[in-house]
Structure formats: C-alpha cells, structure tokens
Structure 1
Amino acid sequence: MRPSLLLLCAISRYSGAALLRQESSLDPSQWDRSHEADANQLLQVSIALTIQNADIGVETLLRISDPTSPDYGQHLSAEDVVRMFEHEPKTVFHVVEWLGKSGIDQSRVQLSYGGDRLTLNLRVQEAARLLETTFYHQTHRETGRKQIACQDYHIPESLAGSIDYILAASPVQTHKRIPRQQVVLNDRVTATAPLPLGCLKSTTLACLRALYRIPEDVPPHPNNSFGIFEPSWFSWVPEDLDKFFGQFQRDLVGHRPRVDAVNGGYLQRNMTESIWYQEPNLDFEYAMALTSPQEVTNVQVGSYGRTGNLHDMLAAFDKYYCMTPGDKKYPITYPPGCNATACDCGSSSPPKVLSISWGWTEAAFTPNYLQRQCLEFLKLALMGTTVIVSASDYGTATNNGCGPFCLDDPTGSGTEGRFSPMYPSSCPWVTSVGGTQMLQPTDRRIAPAPTTNETAFRQKGTSGNTFSSGGGFSNVFLAPPYQISNVATYKDIEQEHLAEIQDRFNSTGRGYPDVAVRADNYAIVSQGNWKLASGTSASNPVFASIITLINSERMHMGKGPVGFINPVLYSNPDVLNDILTGANQGCGVDQAFRATRGWDAVTGLGSPDYERMRQLFMSLP
C-alpha cells in the first residue's frame, strides 16, 4: 500500500549544470497546475550531501553478513557507522558558500550529526531564486491531492558531485482522506461467515505453524525487539485484537503492542471505513500471536495533519540522519532543529527486526533519492537490524496510489508498458518477501515433485482484478554480489521465456523477492468482523516473526541478532522450501516471471522452514 508523499522536488545530476526535476508526480499529465505559489509561503528545504565511503559500507556489510567470514555478526555501533560515512568539512563549506552568495545567512542552516544533510526554512521567493525555478500550486486529477511543486531547476556545476538530492516540502499538510481505490487491501478482502477452517482454503495460526514448523514455546530474550511500521491514520483496534486472540491465542487477550509514536504518531479511531484498520490488525494479530510473549512495537509514524513515511522513521531511528546544534568542526552556528519534515530526531531505538508491509513505486522517485535512502537501510543492517519488506501484490506492476501502474503505459490503466519495480523491496539491503498459496489437490498432479505444497500467489479480487506476488528486477539498483550466481542460474533456466519479455525489465537489476510466505486468505478480525485478507502484506509479518524467534534463541545462547540475512540464505538455499510452480502477472503479460528451481523473481529462494533455518543460524557465531 502507498501513503501520500510530502516530497515536492528532488535532484537528478547531469554533466554541466545539475538539473533538478519534479519528484512527487509520476507523470506530469496527472497533475493540473494552477497559479504560482505565494512568494511568502514557507518551505522546508533539505539538501542531502553525497555520502562518502558508500563502497566501504557495502563491503563491510557483506563481510559481517557472510557466514564463512571470521567477522560474521560483528555489527557496528551507530557511532562507528557515522564515522564510516562522515563528510569532509570542505563539502559543507562549499554548499554553505553557495547559499551565502544567494543571500541566505549561515545562521539559518542546520547540519545533521553525520554532516551529510543541510536543512533550512525558505520562503518560496527565496527558494525560487536559489534554485532558478518557479513554484506552482497543483492538484492531482485522480486523488485531489494538492501540493506546491516546481518543474526543472538548477544548482551550480561545481556542486553536482557534492549534492545527492534536494527536497522541498510545505511544513503543514492539510489532512485529506485517501480515496478507497488508493488502498490495495480494499480489493483483496472478502467477508465470510462462518469462517472457513480448512488450511487449503484459509490461513490461520495453526496452518502457518504446521506449514513452516514454527514453534510456540520460544521464550523472548530481554534484549530482543520486533517493530512494525505503520503510517498516519492506519491503526489497530483493541477490540479486534482481543476477538482474534480469544479465538486463536487466549493468553494474549488484553495485551497490546507497545506504541512508538514518531512525528505525532497516534492511534486513529475516528474513521468509519475498514481500510484504515485492516492492515494494522492483520500485522499485529499474527505477529503478536506467532512471537508470544515477545513484546511487539507499533512504529506509528505521522500525525493527523501529516502523512508519516520511511524518511521520518529513519530519522527517528538515527540521530545522525537528523539535525543538531553547532559542531566545532564546522564554523556554522545552528539553531536546534531537525530535518525537512520537522521530525523526531533519534527519539527511537531501531528494533532487531523491522517489518514494513508497505511499498512505493520505484519510478516515483529519482534514482539519487532511492540510492541514498537505501543506504540508510544499509546502515541499519550494519548495526544488526533485519529489515523485512513485502514485495507487493500487483505482480510486475505497482500501485501508484490510483491502481496498477506500468512504465511507459500509453493507456494509463496499468495494463501495458514496461514492468514497474517496487521500493523498498528493490533495495539490496532489505529482505523482500513475496507470496505463495497452497496447491490444491488437482494442481499437485502436475507439480514437478515440489518440496512443499505451495505455488506462487495469484488470486482474483472481488473487483475482478488479478493480484499476484510482486517480483522482478530493479531499474535503480544493480544485482548485489550475494545473489549474482543465483540470478544467473534463473536466467539460464528461463532463458527462452525471458527472451520474450526482455524489453520489459532491467536484466542487470537487483532481483526480488528474496523469500516467500503464504499470502492467501488470512483469517483476521477487523471492525468486529471475521474476514479473509490476502497479499504479501500478510506474508511479511510472518517471516519477520520467524526471524524474531530465531534471534531470541541465539540471544539465549549468548549470540547476537542475525542482522542482514540475505547472504546467509543465498549461500544456503536448502533451508527454504523451493517453490516450483506458478507465475506472477502484470502490465499485460499473463505469465511474467515464473517459479522454477532455485531462486526466481516471483517466490525468491522459497518459503521458510523454521527448524532448518534455526539450525543454520544457531550454528553461526
């Protein structure tokens, strides 16, 4: 699912002058531009400096995540990470000098702890003069969302290698309900009474435990932690949790997630539509039950008046991603503050496992912005956090807030064009989770001796749309070293089929998902009613729960958390159940990426087997 964005403009660097283009619109034709913005309207502008030593960070993460390395599991502290990526003061000086030449005094500038981000408040007329552009009011034709935005704008050529991107955002966003068609789960939920009990037709706690051999008796370790991200307005309901627990996990009746409120995060109870509660209810009903009695944290980001996003969450986790008063290294006096979204800064501790059942269209952002934010996930991995992200339910298309979206689609209906990758699943430093469903008895006769009775997730929604496991190849990120051989084998096996669609995807990109979990027909309670919910947003908290349990088992043995798990899994694929049948679809292709032996771009390496995964991770230092 995709919450609305606050990003208005971002940089794309080119030779010569550095050209900046509009960030938040996927297609300018979707926006109606009206009058120029008021010259005195306040904008919060954030200038992200190019990160230093990114290659060293990648090498370090791969080394400490390699199960054969003597440095396996030697995670870094936050201070170690900031020292690794720390900027030279001269980079800051050059940017501040540019601001000064435009009449912006250095006393108005704030610098992050890590020295890689400058933030300042500017009036529209100041920002327009600085960036040589014009800001306009515009309205999205489908959603009615309003924003201030610009077209192309520029920075000096001498700074093109020093600035990754620039964000400009209005400090106040008027709350507007997201239309129903913007929420993916709306088409994937059907009411049922009475609730089906057979595991071939619906998914319950007992089904998941039996299918993936998940134990019920793992005692939590006091240093373990498990967090689930939710954005503004999407909240779980206490009565729904209790009704679910009363049926499946009676010892949890009355228990609630711990709430980590970020940027005014709160538990919304005023909306009447069920879409605001289904996803959080699903996440916490299953995550709390599968890991009981482990405390589960609701990382609730964003207030009633402003949408929470990953940027804000990362800033809350890492003070080095935020602003700070002056530093002796830099001859600048800074007032106290934060980044361009006026965020909580370093207010939260990142959990050992973080589940994100939300995704954004990769094409909605500039490559520089995505690469930079992906490095923030790398930093979390360096510090020992496992980030688990769902792969989406539109197959090779994505949801841009108004339904299926494909690149270069002339129809605008998401039924043609090139495949549209999903972020942050496409980031190489997270673990992406795709979806499966149970093979029915009639299907098993044609299955080539599967190691599990699962096939790739594919389901008709109540609206007639077909949903299938997200998967494919990034247009921004290259295939990381840990998956190169696995992806090469897949392309060799599927060579003839992939040749038919080769013009629709980037063959050198990072492949996703990494793993898969059952995604169909989860029995949940929402607004007091039993329902069945489907999608990889259901798969995600299940896999995150499994990693949380393994972390507790390791910690009780005096070991650390597993951290970034992809290199371990790709070098030991036999701990997963290989999925051999099924395919995802999208952008007019019915059989896009097909499941096959080994890794594939619809079910990854396969579904989890807790016992085999546990034995592997317990054998590591």
Structure 2
Amino acid sequence: MQFKRSLFIFSLIALALGAPKRGLNARHKVKEVVRAPRGWVQGPPAPADHIIKLRIALPQSNFQELERHVYEVSDPSHARYGQHLSKEEVEELVAPHPESVDAVDAWLSSFGLGESECERSPAKDWITLRVPVKLAEEMLDTKYHVWLHEASGDTAVRTLTYGIPEDVFDHVELVQPTTMFARMKSHKTTFRFSPIQPSDKLSPAEGTSGGAPLVGPGGTQVDASCNQEITLSCLQQIYNSVGVTGSNKDGNQIAVTAYLGQFANLADLKLFYEDQNPAAVNSSFKVVSVNGGQNSQNVSQAGVEANLDTQFAFGLTFPTPATFFTTAGMPPFISDLKTPTDTNEPYTTWLDFVLAQKTLPQTISTSYGDDEQTVPDSFALRACQGFAQLGARGVSLLFSSGDGGVGDNDANPATQICISNDGKNKTEFLPTFPATCPFVTGVGGTIGFPETAVDFSAGGFSNLFSRPSYQDAAVEGFLRQLPKGTFSGLFNPNGRGFPDVAAQGANFLIFFEGDSGLVDGTSCAAPTFAAFVSLLNDVRLEHGKPPLGFLNPFLYSTGFAGLNDITAGNNPGCGTEGFNATKGWDPVTGLGTPNFGILKELVLKV
C-alpha cells in the first residue's frame, strides 16, 4: 500500500529541498486490526488538529530473561528466593536493542519529531509524544474517528487498524491510543445506605446484638453481626488476626491505586477511623499524583471506590505508611478541544510512573479492570510485562477479579450478553483483565460466615494468557473433577485460571460523603487481601527477610496451606450457573481466603 499524503504540494517542496522522505520508505505493513467491541459506534472523523498523546512501545530485548528472574526470586524452592532485582537491573533487562532505538528515532525524525518532542521511559522502551490527529494518521497510515459508547455516553478517538513502515515494523511493538476500546471500570456495586447506624463496636466476648458468636479460624470468635455488615473487626476475626497491627518501623509500605476521577476523602476517613479504628483517627496517607491525577477534598467529589480502598486497606494495616496513587486519564473527548486529552490507557501511564521510582510500596492493590476481549492483545501483553517488572522488584500486585461471575452475572439464557468479539458472535465466558495476567494475584469474593463464594465473583480462564506452570497442578485438579462436557466451548481450559485467592466481598461498612453505607464487590476483597499481605511483609521484614514480592509461586506451592478453602457457592453468568466453588482451587474463590495465624508461620519458613 502506498503511503498516503494529504498535502501533495508540501511533498513536492520537501523533495525539491532534499528533505528526507516522510516515513522513510513510506511503505506500511498493517500492525494491528481489531473489531469494535459491542456497544461502541463509529462517529465522525476526528478533528485534524485534535492533539493525541501517542505512546510507542519498542520491543523489550530480553524480557524472557526477566521472566526467568521473576520466577526464580518468587519461588520458595529456589535458591534465589527473595533476591529481588533493583530498578537498574530490571531496566537493563527490558531495554530495547540500540538498533530499535535508532530505527524508531529515524522514523520520527522524518516527520520532524526530534528529541525535544519525545518523552522516554527510564528503560527507553516507551516513547511518548503529542501530535495532531492529521500527523498521527500520516505516520500510521490510518484514519481516526470519534467513537461513542452508547450505554455510558463516553467517547474516544480511536481507529480499528494502523500500520508501521516496513523498515521500522519490527522495531515497534505497539502504538496507542489506536485500537484500545477498554473503558476500565471499578469493580464495585452501588453504594447503599446502612440500615444499621454505626456505633462503637463491641468485642465478641461482650456479646454484640448480632447473636451468639461463631467459631472462626484458629478458634477465634466471629461475631454474628458480621453476617450483616463487614467492619475491620469482622475481618480480623474471620481471618485470625485479632490484635495484629501494622508497623511503621521496618520500612514496609502499602498502596492503593485510583483512576477515573476517584478521590479519597479525608473527612470520611476520619469518620471511618472514629467508628472502627480510633487509634488511627489523626493519621492519613500520602497522595501521589500520576499524570496530573488529583484528590479533591470537595465532599461531593468523594469516590465510593477510593473511600472503600483507603479505609479498609489502610485501616487494617495502620500505622504502616500508606500511599494513594491517583492517576488521571480517559475523560470524555470534546471535539473542539485542541489540547491533549488523557485518552491513554491508565495502566501503562501508572506503570511508567512507578517503574521510574527508586523505591516502591511492597504491596499495591487495584480494584479496576475490564473484559479481556476489549483489550488489544498487544496492549494486554505489554501491560502484563510491566506488572512482571514490579514483581521482579519485590512488589506484590493484587487485582480484584471483577463482578460479572463468568461474564455478565446473569444465569438467564434469554438475557445473557456474553458475546465474543471475534466476528463469530458466539456465546462465551468473558474473563477479566488485568486479573488474567499471570504476574498479578487475582482476588475473588466471598460472603458471610462461614464463608461461601459470593455469586458475582468473577473467575474463569484467560483467552489470551496461557496457564503458568505454577498453577498447573491446582487448575488441572479442578478440571479433572469438572464433569466432561461442562461448559464445552464456553471457556479456554488451557488459559491462565483466575482468581488466585479470595476475601470477603459484600456488606462492607464505609463512610461516603459524611454518611455510613454498605458496599459490595470484589473491590472490597482486593484491598482486604492486600492488607493481610502487607501485615505478612511486616512479619518478614521484622525478621530480616525480604518482602514476599510476586505472590503466586508461593501461594500455589506453600501458601495454600494457610488459606481457608471455600467449597460452597458459584458464579453465574452468560446464561449458566457458572463454576462451583470446590475443594482446592476453583475459578470462583481461587485457593481460598487468608488465615493470618497460619500464614505468618509459613512466610517465616521460606
């Protein structure tokens, strides 16, 4: 295909002046083609002068070697366990080959884009530049349109296909925003006001009004009121950590991430602490802005998700130093806006920032995601590689598994909407990204005590990522006991299974805009499990051991002995009853929920 030019006269002048030919040899090869996900409608051509913030990924020259390091330092049976890599060591492994850097620089230079227009990641594997739509279309031999998501009204500047010049093709892994239609939503259901006014919580021994105490792990008593609302005290009782607090003396840190304009309100946090953790009332957290992210303290702008994450993750781990990452991105597109819109994908925007930091929180929780099929393969793979870099550096990353069961949380065949995006329009289960990335720990949800799987807990098998070896035995055990032919054709039995673990995911008592209320979702489960991981890191650090880092090899080989196996419940969706929680790993609750009393002994033995 001949390279298109919109300004023929300009080309003649450039040739006459001996200027380099734009786009080098100007012959493009198609780099990526996608189908628009269901619900997106193509609108008018994007304004030619609208500014796009393009991000170009160069191939990471030695990622397979980095992957080897990740597994070795994360495997308790390996001699290198816990010997995490430094920032510089990781950057050296993922740095692109100099030939790729030179080729891409020459391509950009042919469009008049020099070093001053380019922002480079520390490893030089990402280049970010701001260009008008007109120039981006010329560079990528494509046409951008304004696309509308009918259900939400969100809009984005995207294209369904783009190309790269032949002589640069192998030196560019992907360019975004181009084919990325994922909307990224928080994993939660609607906030609802609590029917029970919060009050000073009584210990189980004092006999709260919820009825006779139940017996929890390790013989702890679990107040029956925990079946109506979940508090910090309930989680400590259910997960055998009564009396355990975090530490601010060993260098341990915990963080949660926020996107989509989710702000964590400090006044609400104070109310939460007054009600559930009085010792923490005068404490707060560090706010770290990524890409211009804000944390407005206007009470009307408080976010349910952000309040939930900070109140429970930081409430359980106080006084461990806490960080709230607020990342800007993905506002609605306004057609007459000439300045850049943050339509880049927030995961890689956040990754760019944190990977550039010398020191990082050892535990980070995220409660956002989207259907895996809405994320281009190239982007999902590259983001997952970024998560692997954090694992190599000793960071535990936890992602909520999602709230759609096996797809849409609808067991009615007449109303299910689980349709493939491959043009075949077949019914299939819809896995959730990033929980399907094999380098993160996916967290599903439970409800009540004794615990059962909560019906919205997303889980299943990736259609993109193959099953990692660390979960072969556990997943194959589940598949062997699954009746032959069950859900045939609806899921990929060879894919990475998720979630890995679970925690309580319903009836969490939070404070929002000055009022108390209850929240459901695996967004409750992720910060909860992350908090217990952070407390385990305290145990290790106090004994001179490194942090746990990438958790999954430990969980599947040793740590499962410190998890409560959940064997009741299911996750309906896509016109089916979904998978059942069973003995051992299952794609509803993973390996189970934490028993801190046992886990703290296990983490000292590895």
TM-score where L is the length of structure 2: 0.82
Q: Secondary structure at the match of 1:350?
A: coil
1:107, 1:586 → 2: CA distance?
50
Cα distance in 2 between the residues matched to 1:358 and 1:398: 16
2:40 corresponds to which residue?
30
CA distances 1:126-153 after superposition (whole Å, capped 9, x unpaired): 2222221222233332222233222322
Structure 1 stretch 185-194 or stretch 58-67: which is displaced more?
185-194
- 1:409: how far off? 8.2
Do the aligned residues in 2 keep the contact of 1:231 with 1:302 (CA within 8 Å)? yes
> Partner of 1:245: helix, strand, or coil?
helix
**Residue 318 (str. 1) matches residue 355 (str. 2):** yes
The structure 1 residue matched to 2:157, chosen from 148, 152, 173, is 148
TM superposition shift of 1:288 = 2.1
Q: Tell me: CA distance 1:405–1:118, structure 2 relative to 1, closer, same or farther (3 Å).
A: farther
**SS class of match (2:579):** coil
After superposition, the CA RMSD in angstroms is 2.8
* 1:201 equivalent among 214, 228, 233: 228
Tell me the residue number matched to 2:81: 72
Which residue is equivalent to 2:49? 40
Report if the CA contact (8 A) 1:220-1:549 is conserved: no
Deviations 1:287-308 (A, max 9, x none): 2221121121111112798578
Tell me the residue number matched to 1:20. Answer: 32
Any idea what SS the aligned residue of 1:370 has?
A: helix
Does the Cα contact within 8 Å between 1:40 and 1:124 map onto a contact in 2?
yes
Choose from 256, 259, 276 the match for 1:228: 256
Aligned to 2:418: 406
Give the letter aligned to residue 26 of structure 1: P
Give 1:45 deviation, angstroms: 1.9
Aligned length: 532
Tell me, yes or no, if the aligned pair for 1:389 and 1:433 is still in contact at 8 Å: yes
SS at match of 1:161: helix
Quick check: 1:397 aligned with 2:407? yes
- 1:546 equivalent in structure 2: 532
Tell me by how many angstroms 1:123 deviates.
2.6
Deviation of the 1:72 alpha carbon: 0.5
Going from structure 1 to structure 2, the CA distance change for 1:271 and 1:605 (only over 3 Å counts) comes to same
Q: Does 1:255 pair with 2:283?
A: yes
Alpha carbons 2:185, 2:369 under 8 Å: kept: no
Distance 1:19 1:597 in 2: 44
Q: 1:516 to 1:97 in 2, by over 3 A?
A: same
Q: In the superposition, relative to structure 1, how do residues 609 and 21 fare at CA in structure 2: closer, same or farther (>3 Å)?
A: same
Deviation at 1:404, TM superposition (A): 8.6
Distance in 2 (alpha carbons) for counterparts of 1:199 and 1:137: 48
Residue 185 of structure 1 corresponds to 188
**1:112, CA displacement in angstroms?**
3.2
Residue 601 to residue 98, structure 1, CA distance change in 2 (3 Å):
same
Distance 1:38 1:562, change over 3 A: same
The residue type paired with residue 61 of structure 2 is Q
Shift of 1:240: 1.8
Alignment of 1:339-488 (within 5 A): 346=357, 349-397=359-407, 406-408=418-420, 417-438=427-448, 453-458=450-455, 468-488=456-476
| Aligned amino acid, residue 519 of structure 1 | G
Q: Does 1:283 align with 2:286?
A: no
Which of 242, 247, 270 is the equivalent residue of 2:270?
242
Checking the alignment, whether the CA contact within 8 Å between 2:187 and 2:402 is kept in structure 1 is no
Distance 2:251 2:79 in 1: 24
1:508 has 2:491 as partner: no
Q: Does 1:527 align with 2:510?
A: no
- Please report how far the alpha carbon of residue 372 of structure 1 lies from its aligned counterpart in structure 2 after TM superposition: 0.6
Pair 1:229–1:472, CA change in 2 (3 A): same
**Partner residue of 2:134 out of 125, 129, 134:** 125
Q: Which amino acid aligns with 2:377?
A: P
Quick check: 1:268 aligned with 2:285? no
Please say if residues 188 and 535 of structure 1, whose CA atoms lie closer than 8 Å, have aligned partners that are also in contact: no
In 1, Cα distance between equivalents of 2:314 and 2:138 = 52
Closer, same or farther: CA 58–104 of 1 in aligned 2, 3 Å: same
User: Structure 1 residues 271, 290: closer, same or farther in 2, change over 3 A?
Assistant: closer
Change (3 A) 1:405 1:246: farther
Q: Which residue of 2 aligns with 1:491?
A: 479
1:191-237: CA deviation from partner (whole Å, max 9, x where unpaired): 31345851222212222111111142443334111011012421222
Write out per-residue CA displacement over residues 160-197 of structure 1, whole angstroms, 9 at most, x where no aligned residue: 4332210148xxxxxxxx9xx97663536353134585
Q: In 2, distance between residues paired with 1:137 and 1:603?
A: 39
Aligned residue in 1 for 2:220: none
Q: Which of 555, 559, 564 is the matching residue for 1:577?
A: 564
Matched-pair contact (CA < 8 Å) for 1:240–1:281: yes
Q: Percent identity?
A: 30
- In structure 2, the CA distance between the partners of 1:370 and 1:405, relative to structure 1 (3 Å rule), is farther
Find the residue that maps to 2:99 and give its secondary structure: helix
Looking at structure 1, the residues matched to 261 and 483 of structure 2 have their Cα atoms a distance apart, in angstroms, of 45
Q: Which amino acid aligns with 1:143?
A: S
SS at match of 1:369: helix
The alpha carbon displacement at 1:114 in A equals 1.4
Could you list the runs of 4 or more consecutive aligned residues of structure 1 that deviate by over 6 angstroms after TM superposition? none
Q: 1:50 aligns with which of 40, 59, 62?
A: 59
Q: How does the TM-score come out when normalised to structure 1?
A: 0.80
Residue-by-residue CA offset, 1:59-94 (whole Å, 9 max, x unaligned)? 111111111111100000010011112222111222
Measure the CA separation in 1 of the matches of 2:269 and 2:490. 43
1:54 CA displacement: 1.9
Secondary structure at 1:224 match in 2 = coil
**Contact 2:245 2:535 (8 Å CA) reproduced:** no
Instruction: Return the letter of the residue paired with 2:53.
Output: Q
Provide the C-alpha distance between the structure 2 equivalents of 1:294 and 1:405, rounded to a whole number of angstroms. 43
